[in-house]
Structure 1
C-alpha cells in the first residue's frame, strides 16, 4: 500500500476521533440552556466534559497538522477556499474555550449567563460549519487548472452542504444528550435520555437523507456498506436508549458517527478535494501529497507516539468515568467537600 493512501486513512481516523469525541462536547454545550433549569444543573453539565473537552480538541489540531505535512497542496487549497468558515470555526472554538475557563471567575449571574451564551454559540457554529465544509469536499468546489479555489463564500452554501450542516448539528445534539444521560444521575439523566431519543429521530432522518444523497453523488460499494451500518448503529442506539441503557445508547451514536465519517472518506477517495469545474483539475492523494521521504518520517513518528497519546486519553476517560449530579456540586463555589461521584453503571 502506498504511503499516500496510508496517510489519507490516518487523516480519516483523526477526523473520526474528533467528531466522535468533540461531537458530544458540542452537544453538551448546545444543550446547556435546554436541559439545565438552574445554575447548579448548568455546572453539572459543564463538569461532565470539564476534564475532557480540551483533550478532545487535540484531534482536530493533529488532523490539521497531518494534512499540512502529508498533503500540502490539499491544505493550501482547503484553507484558502474555506477561509471564512474555518475562521468562524476557529473563533467559535476560542470563545468556547475562554467560556469554560472564565465562567467561574466571578460569582455574578450576569457574568455566568454571558459565558453560558458563549458556550452555546461556540458549540453551535462548529457543529453546523463542519458539516457544511465536509459536504463541499464531497460535492466538489470550483478549483482551476492551477489547483486554486476560484469560488466565493456563497458557493459553499448549496442545499446539499446545508443539509450536511444540519445533519452534523443534530447528530452532535443526540450524541451530547446521550453522553449527559450516561454521565449524570437524577432528573438531568432522565431529561437528557428522553431528549436524546426525540432529537435522535430527527437526526436519523437527516442523516439518512444526507448519506443517501452523498452515495448518489460520489459513493462506492464500500461507502454504501458503511452508510447502511452507520444508520443501523444509530437506530440501535436510540432503541436501547428507550430502555434506559445509556451506555449502549451512547456507544450506538459513537459507532454511527465513526462509520458515517469513514464512509464519507471512502466516498471521497482517491480525491481529497474534487474540482466541480473539471475532474482533471481535482486534488488527489497523488498530486497533492508531500515527498516520499516526508511521509516515511511522519509514519515512524506516528508509530512511536500515537499509542502513547491514545493510552493517555483512554486513562483520562477511565479516571473521570463516574456519574455526577447536583448533590456533588457545592453551594459555595469555594467549598470542595461533596459526596464522592458514583461509577457509571
Structure 2
C-alpha cells in the first residue's frame, strides 16, 4: 500500500476519533440550558433531594470534565497530520474555508474559557455568562463541521492551480446546511445519551428521553443527507458503510428506549464512526474534489508530501499513537462511574466541588 493511501487512512481515523469523542462534548454543552433546570429528584438516595438547575449543570459538566480537553487533541493531530502529509490539501482547505474554520476556532476558544473559568467566581451572573460561552462554543462547531465536510466530499470550486475560487456563500448551499443540521442533531443525541450513561436520578431519565426525541429527528435528516451525498460521489463500499451507520443509529435508539444507556451510547458511537468512514470512502482517492473540472481535483497523489516525509511521519506515528490511545483509555476507565447529586456539594465553591467530584469518582472504582 502506498504511503499516501496509508496517511489518508490515518487522517480519516483521526477525524473518526475526533467526532465520536468530541461529539458528545458538543452535545452536552449544547444541552446545558435544556437539561440544566430545576427538578425534584429522589434518585437513588433514601430521601428526595431538591436538585437545582445549578446542580444539574454541574453534573453535566463534571461528566465531561476529565475528557473534553483530551478529546480536542484529535482535532489538533488531524490538522497537523494534514499539514505535514498533504500540504496542498491543507493550504486549499484553510484558504477556501477560512471564515467557517475561524469561527470554529474562536468557538472552541470561547468554550474552553467557559469550561475552565466557570467555577472561578462564586457568582450566579458569572456562571450564567460562562454557560452561554459553553453553549455557543459547543453549538457552532457541531453545526459548522457538518457544513464543512459536506462541501469537502461533494466538491467546491477549485481551479487548475489547486486554489479555491468560490466565496463564503458557496459553502452555504442547501445540502451543506442539511449536513450541518445532521451533525448538530447527531452530536446532541450522542451527548444526551452520554449524560444518561454518566449521571443518575432524574437527570439520567430526562437525558435519555431527550436523546430519543432528538435522535428520531436526526435519523430522518441523516438518511436524506447521506443518500444525497453518496448519490453524488459514493460507491458500493461507501454505501455499505452508510447503511451500517444507519443500522447502528437505529439500534442506539432502540437500546435507549429500553433503558440500556451503555448500548445506546455505543450505538451512536458506532453510527458517527461509520458515517465518517463512509464520507472518507466516498472521497477517496480525492481529498478535495473540484466542482469545476474533475481533472482539477486534489488527490492523495498530487496533494501529498514527498515519500521521505511520509516515511518519517509513519515512524513517529507508530511510536506515539499507541501511547496516546493508552492514556485516553486509562482516563475513560478511571472516570467511568456515574455522577449523582450527592457528588455535587452545595456548601462549597464550584471549583472545589469539581475537584471533590473527580476525587469521588476515582475513589469509587
- 1:185 aligns with 200
- 2:303 aligns with 288
Give 1:1-150 correspondences, 5 Å limit.
Answer: 1-37=1-37, 38-150=53-165
- Asked whether the 8 Å contact 1:321–1:344 carries over to 2, the reply is no
- 2:40 aligns with none
- Asked whether the 8 Å contact 1:323–1:344 carries over to 2, the reply is no
Q: Is 1:233 paired with 2:248?
A: yes
Q: CA 1:138 to 1:178, structure 2 compared with 1: closer, same or farther past 3 Å? A: same
Q: CA 1:100 to 1:277, structure 2 compared with 1: closer, same or farther past 3 Å? A: same
Structure 1 unpaired stretches of 5+: none
- Deviation track 1:86-133 (CA, whole Å, cap 9, x = no partner) reads 000000000000001111111111110011000000000000000000
Equivalents in 2 of 1:343, 1:279: separation in Å? 58
SS in 2 for 1:322: coil
Q: Is 1:327 paired with 2:342?
A: yes
Q: CA 1:24 to 1:274, structure 2 compared with 1: closer, same or farther past 3 Å? A: same
- Deviation track 1:181-216 (CA, whole Å, cap 9, x = no partner) reads 000000000000000011000010111111100111
Q: Is 1:311 paired with 2:326?
A: yes
Q: What's the TM-score, normalizing by structure 2?
A: 0.92
- The number of residues matched between the two structures is 345
Q: Considering only aligned residues, what root-mean-square deviation do their CA atoms show, in Å?
A: 1.5
| Per-residue deviation, 1:333 | 2.9
SS in 1 for 2:72: helix
- 2:45 aligns with none
Equivalents in 2 of 1:100, 1:47: separation in Å? 10
| Per-residue deviation, 1:325 | 1.6
Equivalents in 2 of 1:238, 1:84: separation in Å? 35
- Asked whether the 8 Å contact 1:238–1:249 carries over to 2, the reply is yes
Equivalents in 2 of 1:276, 1:343: separation in Å? 56
**Deviant stretches of 4+, over 2 Å:** 332-345
| Per-residue deviation, 1:257 | 0.3
| Per-residue deviation, 1:327 | 1.2
| Per-residue deviation, 1:151 | 0.6
Q: CA 1:343 to 1:229, structure 2 compared with 1: closer, same or farther past 3 Å? A: farther
Q: 1:250 aligns with which of 261, 265, 278?
A: 265
- Asked whether the 8 Å contact 2:336–2:361 carries over to 1, the reply is no
Q: CA 1:12 to 1:104, structure 2 compared with 1: closer, same or farther past 3 Å? A: same
Equivalents in 2 of 1:69, 1:200: separation in Å? 37
Structure 2 unpaired stretches of 5+: 38-52
